[in-house]
Amino acid sequence: MSKLDGIKVRVEDPTTPHWVTENTRPLLHEIHHALQRLLEAGEVKTIDLASLPMGPADEARLLEILGVGEVEACIDAMGKSVIRETRFPGVWFIEHFNTDDQPMGRLIDITFIPTLLLSQTEDMRQGLAQLSLYLQTDDAA
Amino acid sequence: MPSKTLGESLFERGVSRRGFLKYCTALASIMALPPTAASAIAAALEKAKKPSVIWLEFQACTGCTESLTRSHAPTLEDLIFDSISLDSHDTLQAAAGHGAEQAREQAMKDNWGNYLLLVDGSVPLGNPGFSTIGGVSNLEMLQETAKGAAAVIAIGTCAAYGGLPKASPNPTGAVAVSDVIKDKPVINIPGCPPVPVVITGVLAHYLTFGTIPELDLHGRPLAFYGQSIHDRCYRRPFYEKGRFAESFDDEGAKEGWCLYKLGCKGPITYNACATVKWNDGVSFPIESGHPCLGCSEPDFWDKGSFYQALAQGQWGSAAGLGTAAAVGIAAGAGAALLARRKQHQAREEQP
Amino acid sequence: MSLLDFARGPGLHWAFIIFVFGICWRFVGTLLIARRIKLSTPRRTDNWLMGLKAIETRSWPVEEFHRVIRFQHYSGYIWHISFFIVLFFFQPHILFFKSILGISWPGLPNDVILVVGAIAVATLVALLGRRLSHPVLRKISNVDDYISWLVTTLPLITGFMAFAHVGGRYETLLALHILSVELLMVWFPFGKLIHAVLVVPSRFQIGASFGRRGVRA
Ligand code: SF4
Ligand code: SF4
């Protein structure tokens, strides 16, 4: 028997702390304000969750409050990205992963549609060139 | 060979614009810039050239390198292969001995005046033999390598402030990089070890904008060290209300109350832990129930017990007080007796 | 060494040494100093009782002067009590005493301390205003009074700043707060603040000697 067995260890469930902080409230206010600005002046806003103080249960609580809306999109570019509209239209939750599927960032976008969902001009040009090439070779054949 | 810009090399690897933008968003996040900076980063990165990087390791425990290799966003591979060209790193490179020295000298020659010099570990001034690489003392190697560098980045508290080797009684006469290098910009990235993402974030800043980020009075990039742990601590509401854990297992600790009384140095420690967090953003010490040790501050080893609260004084002994009391009593008694004697004399002299 | 390191370390150490030395010196010196030779026969013999009584009666405004001195009197009480509450019942202060005395006691919630601290500062300001505007009081005030006022006010002001994190970085504010307390401790034995120690014995002495002469103290 090793000496370490003498140390009593009690495992508590880490996923559900029975206490909550009030850290989500100011953030919800910020989102509220941004949504107002979006409607009134068309101003878009992005909030980086990595820049905010968040306790263990805070983020889960925030996501619970934001809920799930009508749109969910998945992007596969340099790793996965999941873009979800929350139950408040105009408020989007975005999660980026790298090629190893490790989280790279979590953002809240307050916008009509997240820019990343739009096709990008550079990509479109490249696609156009490829399509032209295809048509050319097809015609030639 | 004219090196390609980062934009070109990514493009050639078939990375789409979306992927690139996403990468830039992640970079903005780790550079502690607002997400709107992503497009500016993208524009700058498209033109950026890979800088050559030389990494020197002096009196160090390699913890900082360990930390860097655990940087999650972007992965180290991304960073090294896409963004920088790490030409010489004593721990990570395969070459050893003279081969390693040659790699360093070659990189210096090829990029004279333009390479970044990264240093971890402190520099012993006591005896050159305390720490050498290939028979060359740390001091000599630092001075020589810094000559052709565009900037020097001191990674970890040892390189930034002397760290553990410099802790009292400092047997090796250890000093910080900035104590040796005076004629080059020195960026300090302290921490024991530094948050990995902060290391890559500072490199990314240099790579993107080609400039030295704004620094605070201890030479730390303000983007990461501009706010204290306490400023960004999620337990702060408990601090304001005066709800403190009194021990590591009392009710307060279980309720997640503030750790100030358990010695938390968060209020005087400037670092990014509270928001960036550790282990891929899982948690940070305070979130795990342990007070901040203040590892990114100069001389944090010598500030008394890690578990002594900030409000408590740090003083040697009560002996001084006893002596002061004794001397005070003696002085008071002496003065009184002197006054009595004078009064006595005055009375006798009266007719 | 940073400013905070100095304040918490050598600064505090020396402030305490000077504080303890000064108090011992003044206290013992005052106790042992020569008394006036008493040539008359005492009117009463229970002088010590009269001394004890004076400690009590002097704690309340004298009937005849009540109207004139009540402001000063009661604001004095408010100031002292609120000051002691902040000093002894703010939780970080209790930690500080614990590191010196080894014992601790329950503290008050921060909100309460904030209100009480604000009352303390307000009273101090009001008392200074009175000192400056009252012609007689002004005449009998000297530098000591103003320095004593300043060194007691500074810890309160810097304390508020450190608590609210306004006016600078926390380590600087905390250092300034501790340094201001050290200034108070260094000044304490040598200025009028020593009354905190001498008030009881001197009241006793006055009561006793008045009693001897048969005068109401
Ligand atoms: S745990 Fe530390 S950093 Fe967090 S609020 Fe308390 S004192 Fe500040
Ligand atoms: S919480 Fe404090 S001691 Fe811990 S790593 Fe961060 S700065 Fe260093």
Distance, in Å, from the CA atom of C9 to the CA atom of B80, rounded to the nearest integer, reads 45
Q: Which of residues 284-313 of B touch C (CB under 8 A)?
A: 298-299, 303, 308-313
Instruction: Tell me whether residue A13 is in a domain.
Output: no
CB-count exposure of residue B89 (10 Å: 0-12, 13-18, 19+):
buried
Q: Do B200 and B116 fall within a single domain?
A: yes
Does residue B128 have a cis peptide bond before it, meaning omega lies within 30 degrees of 0? no
Q: Do B62 and B199 fall within a single domain?
A: yes
The answer to whether the CB of B201 falls within 8 A of the CB of B30 is: yes
Structural domain total, chain A: 1
Residue with the bigger pLDDT between B180 and C29: it is: B180
Q: Are chains A and B in contact at 3+ CB pairs closer than 8 Å? A: yes
Which residue in A115, A118, A63 sits closest to A93, CA to CA? A63
Query: In this predicted structure, what is the pLDDT of residue C34?
Result: 65
CATH number at residue A49: 3.30.1370.140
Confidence of residue B77 (pLDDT cuts 50, 70, 90): very low
State how far Cα B46 lies from the chain centre. 30
Q: Collect all residues of chain B within an 8 Å Cβ-Cβ radius of residue C30.
A: 332, 336
* Residue A55 pLDDT greater than 50, yes or no: yes
Last residue of a domain, one of B174, B205, B225: B225
Q: Which domains does chain C possess?
A: 3-212 (1.20.950)
Last residue of a domain, one of B225, B259, B289: B225
Q: What integer is the mean pLDDT of B151-158? A: 94
Q: How far is CA C121 from CA C117, C126, C133, C154, in A?
A: 6, 9, 18, 10
Point out the residues of chain C with pLDDT beneath 70. 34, 217
Q: B20: distance to nearest CA of chain C, Å? A: 38
Structural domain total, chain B: 2
Q: Do B92 and B219 fall within a single domain?
A: yes
Token pair 């997400």: residue: B35
Q: Which two three-digit tokens encode residue C157?
A: 């002001």
The answer to whether the CB of B172 falls within 8 A of the CB of B127 is: yes
Q: What is the pLDDT of residues A107-121, one digit of tens each?
A: 999 999 998 899 988
Q: Which chains touch C (3 or more CB pairs under 8 A)?
A: B
Which residue in A67, A108, A109, A59 sits closest to A86, CA to CA? A67
Q: Do B67 and B141 fall within a single domain?
A: yes
Q: How far is CA A70 from CA A36, A89, B84, in A?
A: 20, 8, 42
Instruction: Tell me whether residue A122 is in a domain.
Output: yes
Q: What is the pLDDT of residues B299-318, one digit of tens each?
A: 999 888 899 888 887 765 66
Q: Which domain holds residue B329?
A: 229-349
Cβ of residue C13 closer than 8 Å to a chain B Cβ: yes
Q: Which two three-digit tokens encode residue B190?
A: 């302290």
The helix (H) or strand (E) run that includes residue B56 is strand B52-57
* Residue B331 pLDDT greater than 60, yes or no: yes
Query: In this predicted structure, what is the pLDDT of residue A14?
Result: 52
* Residue B75 pLDDT greater than 70, yes or no: no
